[in-house]
């Protein structure tokens, strides 16, 4: 494990700084929208349109400069915070969606490439575990800092500080990144991504379920910044040690499917029964189980795709496109059901996706081999 950290340490420190700002401010955006009169369905639609923006933008971009793209990404992040800083009306809603779509395209594609460009098949699982779980300790105390800032200075201070932090981090990273250019035409990226399109759609859907669907559904139980902050802190540490151990072991054995089947079966059951739980205490416990299983399985899901394809810039461009297609479809369906306050079909849908996912991976991998 030590050699993985030494190889990825600078990337990991960057990820820690970025995640600190995100947990501090972005995690409270659903609560901010709720407190300003938006329904749960409107908040889900908010994220649906954000993902749709990324899907519509990606096919038109072929050339990326690593330094410039990351800087544009951080300008977009700062733009999202400034959009909310000046109000919660329709204009702010739309501006957040536009800038938020830009973060998917300009930040996450080059960041994923830079973080994983030294990854090999033998290390993809542990590298993914670092990516997804090394920041878990931040999730324990940073939400409490965000909630305290809301209590002391309000959302204007929260979003204002976050926008400045994103700008400073963007300038700092820009000064240290290599000046590399990449040209990958969209059609070529999609063609090379054959076999992973549907898998990535389902992965994108499942990846947003804990943080978006459950995070928004939690607003039915937690109505204040302090309560919501404590809830986020409770989730912060779940799955860190277990995820690192299981993923490192799967690197050695290279038998990820053996882990995916039991993990996703348990996750499917936990997701499907959550709408039947009405006690706040039991609901929190059930959500904790889902987060545990999600944190354990997330690095494995990411590593599975990297095992079978060349992990270049085009890989991440295609992956971002198809993960966002999956998010648009499932979030759109969820927004519709939430509008009619029908929550159980949403959890059944995500439970079925979790149940289908390992079977689809096994079928697709057999097809590619």
What tens digit of pLDDT does each residue of 337-352 get?
Answer: 999 999 999 999 999 9
What tens digit of pLDDT does each residue of 309-334 get?
Answer: 777 888 899 999 999 999 999 999 99
Give whole-number Cα distances, 313 to 103, 109, 213, 290, 300, in Å: 16, 7, 29, 32, 20
Domain ranges (residues) in the chain: 2-362
| Local structure of 140: helix, strand or coil | helix
| Local structure of 182: helix, strand or coil | strand
- pLDDT given at position 294: 81
What is the distance between the alpha carbons of residues 313 and 115, in angstroms, rounded to a whole number?
A: 11
What is the distance between the alpha carbons of residues 327 and 192, in angstroms, rounded to a whole number?
A: 21
What tens digit of pLDDT does each residue of 256-280 get?
Answer: 566 778 888 999 999 999 878 878 8
Judge whether residue 162 has pLDDT over 80: yes
User: What six digits make up the tokens of 42?
Assistant: 């409107």
- pLDDT given at position 299: 67
pLDDT band at residue 119 using 50, 70 and 90 as cut-offs: low
- pLDDT given at position 95: 94
Among 144, 22, 163, smallest CA distance to 82 is for 163
- pLDDT given at position 222: 86
Give the single-character DSSP code of 81.
H
User: What six digits make up the tokens of 24?
Assistant: 């501090």
pTM greater than 0.85: yes
- pLDDT given at position 329: 97
Q: Which long-range contacts (CB under 8 A, 24 or more apart) does 79-84 make?
A: 79/163, 80/26, 81/25, 81/159, 81/160, 81/162, 81/163, 81/166, 82/159, 82/163, 84/29, 84/32, 84/155, 84/159
Q: Which long-range contacts (CB under 8 A, 24 or more apart) does 261-265 make?
A: 261/358, 263/293, 263/296, 263/297, 263/300, 264/297, 264/354, 264/355, 264/357, 264/358, 265/355
Bridge partners, 64 (sequence order):
182
User: What six digits make up the tokens of 70?
Assistant: 């990351």
- pLDDT given at position 12: 73
User: What six digits make up the tokens of 13?
Assistant: 């420190």
Judge whether residue 28 has pLDDT over 90: yes
Instruction: Give me the residue label for tokens 């300038």.
Output: 171
Judge whether residue 213 has pLDDT over 80: yes
Across the chain, what does the average pLDDT equal? 84
| Local structure of 63: helix, strand or coil | strand
Per-range mean pLDDT, top range of 35-39, 124-128, 309-313: 35-39
Among 245, 365, 354, 359, smallest CA distance to 307 is for 365
What is the distance between the alpha carbons of residues 360 and 354, in angstroms, rounded to a whole number?
A: 10
Burial 20-58, CB ≥16 within 10 A → b, else e: bbbbbbbbbbbbbbbbeebebbebbbbbbbbbbbbbebb
User: What six digits make up the tokens of 317?
Assistant: 């461009």
* DSSP-H helix ranges across the chain: 2-25, 29-35, 40-57, 66-85, 90-102, 109-116, 124-133, 138-153, 155-176, 186-192, 197-208, 214-217, 225-236, 240-253, 256-273, 280-308, 313-339, 344-368
First to last CA, the chain: 30
CATH of domain 2-362: 1.20.1250.20
Which range is least confidently modeled, 27-36, 95-104, 119-128? 119-128
- pLDDT given at position 276: 83
Among 58, 38, 37, smallest CA distance to 47 is for 38
């Amino acid at each position: 494990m030590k050699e993985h950290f030494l190889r990825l340490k600078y990337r990991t420190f960057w990820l820690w700084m970025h995640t600190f700002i995100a947990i501090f401010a972005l995690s409270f955006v659903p609560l901010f929208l709720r407190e300003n009169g938006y329904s749960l369905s409107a908040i889900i639609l908010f994220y649906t349109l954000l993902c749709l923006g990324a899907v519509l933008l990606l096919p038109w971009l072929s050339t990326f400069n690593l330094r410039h793209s990351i800087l544009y990404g951080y300008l977009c992040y700062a733009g999202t915070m400034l959009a909310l800083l000046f109000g919660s009306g329709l204009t702010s809603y739309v501006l957040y969606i536009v800038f938020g779509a830009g973060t998917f395209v300009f930040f996450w594609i080059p960041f994923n490439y830079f973080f994983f460009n030294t990854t090999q098949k033998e290390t993809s699982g542990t590298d993914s575990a670092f990516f997804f779980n090394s920041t878990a300790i931040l999730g324990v105390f940073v939400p409490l800092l965000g909630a305290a800032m809301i209590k002391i200075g309000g959302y204007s201070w929260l979003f204002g500080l976050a926008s400045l932090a994103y700008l400073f981090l963007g300038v700092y990273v820009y000064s240290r990144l290599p000046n590399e250019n990449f040209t990958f035409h969209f059609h070529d990226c999609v063609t090379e991504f054959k076999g992973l399109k549907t898998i990535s759609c389902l992965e994108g859907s499942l990846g947003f379920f804990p943080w978006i669907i459950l995070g928004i559904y939690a607003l039915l139980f937690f109505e204040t910044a302090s309560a919501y902050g404590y809830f986020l802190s409770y989730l912060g540490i779940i799955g860190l040690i277990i995820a690192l151990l299981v993923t490192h072991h799967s690197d050695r054995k290279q038998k990820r499917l053996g882990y995916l089947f039991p993990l996703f079966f348990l996750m499917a059951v936990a997701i499907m029964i959550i709408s039947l739980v009405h006690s706040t205490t039991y609901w929190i416990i059930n959500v904790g189980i889902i987060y545990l299983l999600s944190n354990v399985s997330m690095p494995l899901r990411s590593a599975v795709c990297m095992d079978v394809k060349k992990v270049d810039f085009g890989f991440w461009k295609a992956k971002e496109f198809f993960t966002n297609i999956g998010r648009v479809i499932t979030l759109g369906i969820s927004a519709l059901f939430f509008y009619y306050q029908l929550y159980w079909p949403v959890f059944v849908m995500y439970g079925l996706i979790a149940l289908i996912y390992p079977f689809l991976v096994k079928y697709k991998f057999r097809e590619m081999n």
